[in-house]
Structure 1
Amino acid sequence: MEILVITGTGTEVGKTIATAAVAATALAAGRSVAVLKPAQTGVRPDERGDADEVARLAGAVTTLELARYPEPLAPATAARRASLAPVRPHEVAEAAAKLATEHDVVLVEGAGGLLVRFDDEGGTLADAARLLNAPVLVVASAGLGTLNTTELTARELRARGLDFAGVLIGSWPNKPDLASRCNLADLPVVAGAPLLGSVPEGAGALEPADFRTSAPSWLAPRLGGSWDAATSNAGCAP
């Protein structure tokens, strides 16, 4: 049994597609997978959420949402404005632990960044990861500005004594600029943790069969794939 908490350095960094890639790679290895989305925001009851998108791309995964709020806000704010009950970190941990009794891999996908609040008491995904004693995978953007947000997230993980699994680039551009190319080498340095892969830009638009076939090539061996930063085509030499 394995639980992996997946967070981002912010919003729109490719966290859901990265989660789908991890799920697809685990499924390809013959492992059963569950995906837990503690709080889905900005989606109506009749719309597909992030966990549904992971299942569409990755295949036969078990999905579970603990709460859904209609406005695209931080979960605590969205819950308060909708007059709905918030999600608590202990509820996230309990749900993930239950899924882990029935699946080989449980992926817990957060909302936005590590310290986005679930409730008005300040509960966060970091608190759920601590309760689970689970490693945290950080999905980061590729380009300019990512070094700062990644290092800040890494420092917070360490300050809380959490297991920092590594960094995954959520959307590697088709035509990477100089900053992106240099960040392949700089991200693991500022994070103090390994770079565990790079999901190509537009991966979510692939046909599911193509996504599942390709996903292992985007992830490093620690995530079950074959990606190797040392053999990537990007470079930063002057």
Structure 2
Amino acid sequence: MSVVVITGTGTEIGKTVTTAAVAAAALAAGRSVAVLKPAQTGVGAGERGDAAEVARLAGAVTTRELARYPEPLAPATAARRAGMPPVRPHEVAEAAAKLATEHDLVLIEGAGGLLVRFDDEGGTLADAAALLAAPVLVVAPAGLGTLNATELTARELRHRRLDLAGVVIGSWPVDADLASRCNLADLPVVAGAPLLGALPTGAGSYAPAAFRGAAPNWLAPRLGGTWDAETFTSAFAP
């Protein structure tokens, strides 16, 4: 996989930290990595955005933002309110394709979920993934409510004939409740795709060196790690 699109089933569920973990595992394997953030919202000039946070945690990655809007809103809304040009899916695809000529792996981190709008014409991250024919990695929360949101995202990807690479749990709780433990078995069923990792709660607060050392333990071999879904699921079986 030279380009991977990373989306979530919603906001604040661990997309950025998951992107950093995938980047860190790739760097540890000797691959060059670029991280593309098509639209950064809710961050002012001079403040650290998601791509910069990935670089802080993962290490020597190339980062690129296509647009930055000050208000923490969907990109289309934030662009319109700021009086700034929106990001178009073809611009995302073109930027990723260029980065892919210079790097072994390009990670595209979306904003919120798969169908969050980039522009007023309805362009989305899914459209950019289609233009690139790139696999999509879905980051989902662990607990109650995640099955519905994950299945809806997976159905939309299949409807668009996009490749769902798998699901990563963006924040696995220290004391997992019954719903979270049951969801380990149910998530791959509703997604129709494998579990490819689980990041511990608070992983984003690790010191960078500790994060880089631990990241491969949180991800399955397809993402460059050593994490095993069957072993993890069995350990938390209700």
TM-score of the alignment, normalized to the shorter chain, above 0.5: yes
User: Which letter does structure 2 place at the counterpart of 1:38?
Assistant: P
* Matches of 1:177 and 1:164, distance apart in 2: 27
Structure 1 residue 132 corresponds to structure 2 residue 127: no
Structure 1 residue 12 corresponds to structure 2 residue 9: no
Deviation of 1:220 (Å): 0.4
Q: SS at the partner of 2:25?
A: helix
| Structure 2 counterpart of 1:205 | 205
Structure 1 residue 174 corresponds to structure 2 residue 174: yes
Deviation of 1:90 (Å): 0.1
Q: SS at the partner of 1:215?
A: helix
| Structure 1 counterpart of 2:220 | 220
Question: 4+ residue stretches of structure 1 with deviation over 6 A?
Answer: none
Deviation of 1:231 (Å): 1.4
Deviation of 1:100 (Å): 0.1
Q: Residue deviations 1:139-178, cap 9 Å, x none?
A: 0000000000000000000000001100000000011000
* Matches of 1:230 and 1:130, distance apart in 2: 31
Deviation of 1:230 (Å): 1.6
User: Which letter does structure 1 place at the counterpart of 2:237?
Assistant: G
| Structure 1 counterpart of 2:109 | 109
Q: SS at the partner of 1:12?
A: coil
User: Which letter does structure 2 place at the counterpart of 1:124?
Assistant: T
| Structure 1 counterpart of 2:49 | 49
| Structure 1 counterpart of 2:3 | 3
User: Which letter does structure 1 place at the counterpart of 2:7?
Assistant: T
| Structure 2 counterpart of 1:160 | 160
What is the Cα-based RMSD across aligned positions, in Å? 0.6
Deviation of 1:229 (Å): 1.8
Q: SS at the partner of 2:37?
A: strand
* Matches of 2:171 and 2:62, distance apart in 1: 25
Deviation of 1:8 (Å): 0.2
Q: Residue deviations 1:105-128, cap 9 Å, x none?
A: 000000000000000000000000
* Matches of 2:176 and 2:15, distance apart in 1: 19
| Alignment coverage as a number of residue pairs | 236
Instruction: Extract unaligned runs of 5+ from structure 1.
Output: none
User: Which letter does structure 2 place at the counterpart of 1:143?
Assistant: G
Report sequence identity in percent. Answer: 81
* Matches of 1:87 and 1:188, distance apart in 2: 32
Q: Residue deviations 1:160-203, cap 9 Å, x none?
A: 00011000000000110000011111000000000000010000
Q: SS at the partner of 1:144?
A: coil
TM alignment of 1:52-67, pairs within 5 A: 52-67=52-67
User: Which letter does structure 1 place at the counterpart of 2:156?
Assistant: E
Deviation of 1:46 (Å): 1.4
In the superposition, the TM-score normalised over structure 1's length comes to 0.98
Q: SS at the partner of 1:165?
A: strand
User: Which letter does structure 1 place at the counterpart of 2:236?
Assistant: A
Q: SS at the partner of 2:93?
A: helix
Q: SS at the partner of 1:80?
A: helix
Instruction: Extract unaligned runs of 5+ from structure 2.
Output: none
Q: SS at the partner of 2:227?
A: coil
